[in-house]
């Protein structure tokens, strides 16, 4: 059995702003079913300690980046049982009120602005992760390997290296290269980083500190969340200034697809009035979805959008292309928040096409389950997408994904091209390049195939058979963990 420390800024079911939380919450469960133990370290944002059971203090420091701190061990029950994993997830909450006990979200204040001390807040998280890796916790637990997620945990390998403990295996997983943890150079000492390491081969990045670059340089292995995205990161248009480092470390980069929690995203027990044991039941969920959004389009494909409304997600392209889709017979239900201009663009579409477009500017996990249960297709026109979970939810529920051919979207959706249709293996629609004309053509193909019920039903059945859980991915992580711990063994 391997003991593994996961360091992350968010984790389901405690705190979530995006797909990182889903992955950080699902991976320990999947590893547990294969006989390994992962404890997850994350900040004690307001209210999280109360969600744990069997709590005890296992680490403390009177001065962690400006104030007292302690780590509280506890367990949190899974949101669903059965399927891939059961039992409680082991959590380590970093309780540091001066850093994390404040209004707002994990990263932004109530006005949607980054907390000014985010570099210190997440350096503290990384520092504690390194301390636990070096010395263990007071209850006798000590990991053999540290798995770090994104820039918020990316300083763990650096702190270990600078403390003379670079022999402890570390993995950094890049969930999204767009966020790099930048800070001014004059905060080097405040972040407990040595000035002699402020250079291009360490954490210096165009005159600033980059936590992500530090991790890319110092972690034993790098992973990202799909094979295609691993390759894309070596190209300037996706690498966002870090592509040279990724190319230099290409032999240390592994692309491992994310999975989804098959318990939480179970068509037969989802949080809707209707299970999907058969596709006939999907028609019931579809009626409930249409009623919820005020859509009257019984014979048209009802597409859904469940997304952060942003340029990255290609939602500006979708807003441009949807009028043609709607006027040709389609209908759309939209759930999401984000860029204010995009929120207004979708509201305007709802006002322009009443009964064909329904829009809710909100984040609503329960409603998203109904949308996947009842939707005919899910639209994901992302300009880049490291892995994406939305298309996996769509496959699981027979809600056919229409996706840009990038990152994990390209790795998980089989396009309904003539060859795939002839072989009976298509599971959705892909398009390239990520431009309006290509997206419009994909939407036209969706309309054409929806008008052929036998083909559409076959694609739904194909989609629902796709392996979208964690079995294969967890096995790949374990193989990587075992290779690193074997290499580290004396």
pLDDT in tens, 31-90: 998 899 999 999 999 999 999 999 999 999 999 999 999 999 999 986 543 334 446 899
Q: How confident is the model at residue 298 (pLDDT cuts 50, 70, 90)?
A: confident
C-alpha 221/C-alpha 171 separation (Å) is 5
Query: Is 269 within a domain?
Result: no
pLDDT of residue 279: 67
pLDDT tens sequence across 12-34: 999 998 889 988 998 999 999 88
Query: Please, is 35 exposed, middle or buried when counting C-beta atoms within 10 Å of its C-beta (0-12, 13-18, 19+)?
Result: exposed
**Domain with 433 in it:** 279-465
For residue 262, what pLDDT is reported? 87
Cα(96)–Cα(117) distance, rounded to whole angstroms?
13
One domain for residues 411 and 459: yes
pLDDT by residue (tens digit) across 206-220? 999 999 999 999 999
Phi-psi region of 413 (alpha: psi -120 to 50; beta: other; left: phi over 0): beta
CB 134 within 8 A of CB 160: yes
Distance CA 302, CA 330 (A): 6
Whether 54 maps to a domain, the answer reads yes
Same domain, 188 and 232: yes
Residue 85's pLDDT is what? 43
Same domain for 297 and 380 = yes
Tokens of 219: 């972690």
pLDDT band at 490; cut points 50, 70, 90: low
Residues annotated in the binding site for ADP-alpha-D-glucose, as ranges?
16
Decide which of 402 and 270 is more confident. 402
Average pLDDT over every residue of 99-117: 95
Within this chain, do residues 334 and 248 fall inside the same structural domain, yes or no? no
93 shares its domain with 176: yes
**Binding-site residue set:** 16
User: What CATH number does residue 317 fall under?
Assistant: 3.40.50.2000
421 class by beta-carbon count within 10 Å (0-12 exposed, 13-18 middle, 19+ buried): middle
Q: How confident is the model at residue 179 (pLDDT cuts 50, 70, 90)?
A: very high
Dist. CA 12–CA 32, nearest whole Å: 16
> DSSP class of residue 102?
S
Share of the chain above pLDDT 90, in %: 87
Cα 104 from Cα 284, distance rounded (Å): 38
Q: Is residue 220 part of a domain?
A: yes
The band of 365, judged by pLDDT with boundaries at 50, 70 and 90, is confident
Is residue 323 a part of any domain in this protein? yes
278 pLDDT higher than 80: no
Place of tokens 């299970």: 275
Q: How far is 140 from 384, CA to CA, in rounded Å? A: 43
Phi, psi of 379 (to 5 degrees): -100, 125
pLDDT digits (tens, 9 = 90+) for 456-469: 999 999 999 999 99
Q: In this structure, are 177 and 205 located in the same domain?
A: yes
Domain count, the chain: 2
Q: What is the mean pLDDT of residues 349-373?
A: 94
Based on the fold, state whether residues 121 and 45 are members of the same structural domain: yes
Contact call for residues 105 and 111 (beta carbons, < 8 A): no
Are 434 and 406 in contact by the 8 Å Cβ rule? The answer is: yes
Classify residue 73: in a domain, yes or no: yes
pLDDT digits (tens, 9 = 90+) for 47-64: 999 999 999 999 999 999
* E strand or H helix that includes residue 469: none
Same domain flag for 170 and 236: yes
Judged against a pLDDT cut of 70, whether residue 258 lies above it is answered with yes
Q: How confident is the model at residue 194 (pLDDT cuts 50, 70, 90)?
A: very high
Q: Tokens for 167? A: 């022999």
Is 381 a domain residue?
yes
């Amino acid at each position: 059995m391997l003991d593994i420390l996961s360091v992350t800024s968010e984790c389901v079911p405690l705190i979530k702003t995006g797909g990182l939380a889903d992955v950080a919450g699902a991976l320990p469960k999947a590893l547990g079913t294969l006989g390994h133990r992962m404890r997850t370290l994350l900040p004690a944002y307001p209210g999280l300690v109360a969600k744990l059971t069997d709590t005890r203090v296992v680490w403390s420091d009177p001065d962690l980046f400006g104030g007292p701190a302690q780590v509280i061990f506890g367990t949190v029950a899974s949101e669903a049982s059965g399927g891939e994993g059961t039992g409680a997830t082991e959590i380590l909450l970093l309780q540091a009120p001066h850093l994390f006990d404040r209004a707002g979200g994990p990263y932004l204040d109530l006005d949607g602005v980054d907390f000014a001390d985010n570099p210190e807040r997440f350096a503290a998280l990384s520092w504690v992760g390194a301390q636990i890796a070096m010395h263990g916790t007071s209850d006798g637990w000590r990991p053999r390997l540290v798995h770090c997620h994104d820039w918020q945990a990316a300083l763990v390998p650096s702190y270990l290296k600078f403390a003379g403990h670079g022999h402890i295996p570390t993995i950094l997983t890049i969930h999204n290269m767009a966020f790099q943890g930048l800070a001014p150079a004059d905060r080097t000492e405040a972040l407990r980083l040595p000035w002699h390491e402020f250079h291009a081969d360490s954490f210096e990045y165009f005159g600033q500190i980059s936590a992500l670059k530090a991790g890319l340089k110092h972690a034993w292995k790098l992973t990202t969340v799909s094979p295609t995205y691993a390759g894309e990161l070596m190209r300037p248009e996706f690498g966002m200034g870090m592509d040279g480092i990724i190319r230099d470390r290409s032999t240390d980069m592994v692309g491992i697809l994310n999975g989804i929690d098959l318990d939480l995203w179970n068509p037969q027990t989802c949080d809707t009035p209707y299970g999907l044991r058969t596709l006939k039941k999907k028609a019931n969920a579809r009626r409930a979805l249409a009623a919820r959004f005020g859509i009257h389009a019984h014979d048209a494909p009802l597409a859904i959008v469940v997304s952060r409304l942003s340029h990255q997600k290609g939602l500006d392209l979708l807003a441009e292309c949807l009028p043609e889709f709607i006027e040709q017979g389609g209908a759309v239900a939209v759930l999401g928040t984000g860029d204010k201009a995009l929120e207004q663009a979708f509201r305007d579409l709802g006002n322009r096409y009443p009964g064909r477009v329904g829009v809710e500017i909100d984040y609503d996990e329960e409603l998203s389950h109904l949308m996947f249960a009842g939707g005919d297709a899910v639209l994901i026109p992302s300009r880049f997408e490291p892995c994406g979970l939305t298309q996996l939810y769509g496959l699981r529920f027979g809600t056919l994904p229409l996706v840009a051919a990038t990152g994990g979207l390209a790795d998980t959706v089989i396009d309904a091209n003539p060859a795939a249709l002839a072989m009976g293996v298509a599971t959705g629609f892909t398009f390239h390049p990520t431009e309006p004309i290509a997206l419009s053509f994909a939407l036209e193909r969706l309309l054409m195939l929806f008008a052929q019920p036998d083909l559409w039903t076959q694609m739904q059945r194909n989609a629902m058979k796709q392996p979208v859980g964690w079995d294969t991915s967890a096995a790949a992580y374990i193989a990587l963990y075992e290779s690193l711990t074997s290499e580290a063994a004396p």
